[in-house]
Structure 1
C-alpha cells in the first residue's frame, strides 16, 4: 500500500491505489436502493457485480460503485 504522504503532488497510476471493498449496507446507503433492487439490476447487467470473498460473502468495489453513481447521475 502507498503511504499518503507519497501521493501528494505525485501522479500515481490508478492501479497502485487500493480499491476499498464495500459491504451491502454501505452500497445501499450510497446508491439509495434496496437489496432486492440492487440484485435485480445485477441480474439485468445494469449494476456492478459484487466480488465473492467467500461462498457467503460478497463485497463491491468502491470504484465500481462510484463509477455507476456517476454514470446514472442526472445533470
Structure 2
C-alpha cells in the first residue's frame, strides 16, 4: 500500500486543448443556442472550439445560474 504522503499527484486536462477565456459576445451567443437545444457537437462547431471546452463552459454557466439544465443535457432537446 502506498502512503498518502508518497502517492503520486495526477494533473487532469493537462494534455488537451481547452479554451479558457470567452468574450462576452460569445457567452451571450452560447446562452442563446443552448436555450435553443443545440447539441454539443453543433455548439462546438458554432463556437469554433472543441467539445471539451464547451462542456466546461456548460458547467461554468450552469453553476453561475446563466443557463438552465436541459432534458437531454449536452445532447440537446
TM-score normalized with structure 2 length = 0.33
Between structure 1 and structure 2, the one with the greater Rg is 2
TM-score normalized with structure 1 length = 0.34
